[in-house]
A = this chain, B = another copy of it.
Amino acid sequence: MTDFAATRAKFHLPEGVIYLDGNSLGPLPKSARERARRAIEDEWGEMLIRAWNAAGWMDQPRRVGDRIAPLIGAQPGTVVMGDTLSIKMYQALAATLAMRPERKVVLSDTGNFPTDLYMAEGLIRSLARGHVLKTVAPEGVEAAIDESVAALMLTHVDYGSGRMHDMAKLTEKAHAAGALAIWDLAHSAGALPVDLAGCKVDFAAGCTYKYLNGGPGAPAFIYVRPDHIEKAQPALSGWLGHAAPFDFDLAYRPARSIERMRVGTPPVVQMTILEAALDIWDDVDMAALRARSIELSELFIRDVEARCPALSLASPRDPARRGSQVSFRFEHGYAAMRALIARGVIGDFRSPDRMRFGFAPLYIGEADVRRAADILAGVIEGGAWNDPVYMTREAVT
């Protein structure tokens, strides 16, 4: 049984704040402070260039990948860190299209996070070989999978609504049609059990600054199914993905391992912080985490629906079809969210009218959820959302 009081004690949570936005940026693990200091002062400061070997910086992208692997149902040696989720999705899609040269359709849905669609658009434009990005409604994905599809590219859990796709079923359907499946795990990794190997997923990528608490701008990860690794041609063929980077050959020859998906010099300090954050998962059972996340989300929905009739649930009602977040529609959602944040409950807002709340059992408990719903009800009932001070738009909330 996972001890969630113990995991909570491992985070720095600011005084007076209930943090329901770990689905955007996870909070600071206490141990990350000292680990970052060590990386900066003891490794960089004292060892200088020698730290690439002596402090294990060179192997870090693979070592950290191997620590993420069990959280997403991946085998050792199938996950490597680097770059951003956008770049990792691009690598996955480029490799997929090269493995299905005769097919022209990239199938996605309108609930996908825009950057995945944008990166696909950019790749398709570059390739100029008649590929088409076909974007259907999330509920229409299954029916749209046919033998024209090269890549099924989906985000597992919708960033806005928390709606979760059936990864096993859609991947199987894609395979039956001869397509490959690429999954974006941004809102899944660390939020719920994922079984990449069991679902025979072809490629996956995710970020680590949300539920994995790696800090702002922590590197992304990419997963490649073991039997694809040697076939996946890196489109972004950087020197650290070379079979022997320090031979400085003039011609590229990809590594035979997952490291072929490395590109340039990894962000050592950010990755060290992430490595510290991953320690917390050593004692976490993903099934227990999932059960707890559902309990907390259900409690929040119940309390908010009972007290805020002006808000309507924008997430699936069935918890089995939701990730670890819940959204409510409210016409004045932007101002209401700002008013709520001013009162210490941090969620966020997604256009056009969604108030979004994430439930991370590692550091959020029942009392937090009850109190958050209570403060939200106060904001809605009290009309704080009508205060002009909360209406000015900022880039991110």
Contacts and interface: CB of A to CB of B under 8 A. Distances in A.
Interface of A: 12, 14, 17, 19, 21, 24-25, 27-28, 32-33, 36-37, 40-41, 43-46, 48-53, 57-58, 83-87, 90, 94, 98, 110, 113-115, 117-119, 121-123, 125-129, 135, 160, 207, 209, 215-220, 233-240, 242, 245-252, 263-271, 273, 341, 346, 348, 350-351, 394-397
A238 B86 contact: yes
A123 B218 CA distance: 26
Nearest to A27: B48
A265 B114 contact: no
One complex includes copies of this chain to the number of: 2
Per DSSP, are chain A's interface residues mostly helix, strand or loop, or mixed? mixed
Nearest to A32: B40
B19 A48 contact: yes
Contact of A267 (B41, B58, B110, B267): B267
B264 A110 contact: no
A215 B37 CA distance: 13
B396 A53 contact: yes
Contacts of A219: 267
Given A121-B237, A215-B269, A14 B45 contact: yes
Contacts of A21: 48-49
28 contacts: A14-B45, A17-B48, A21-B49, A24-B49, A32-B40, A33-B41, A36-B269, A44-B216, A49-B346, A52-B396, A53-B395, A57-B216, A86-B236, A87-B264, A114-B249, A115-B238, A118-B242, A119-B237, A122-B235, A125-B233, A127-B128, A215-B269, A216-B269, A217-B266, A218-B267, A220-B264, A246-B396, A270-B270
A57 B160 CA distance: 22
A341 B47 CA distance: 11
Contact of A273 (B27, B40, B397): B40
B27 A45 contact: yes
A218 B270 CA distance: 10
Nearest to A268: B216
A317 to B, nearest CB: 24
Max chain B Cβ within 10 angstroms of own Cβ: one of A17, A46, A86, A160? A86
Contacts of A43: 216
A233 B128 CA distance: 14
B122 A236 contact: yes
B46 A126 contact: no
Max chain B Cβ within 10 angstroms of own Cβ: one of A46, A110, A216, A350? A216
- What 4 pairs between A and B have smallest CB-CB spacing? A84-B264, A122-B237, A217-B267, A115-B239
A252 B117 contact: yes
Given A115-B240, A119-B238, A220-B264, 8 more contacts: A117-B252, A122-B234, A122-B252, A215-B268, A216-B267, A217-B266, A217-B268, A270-B270
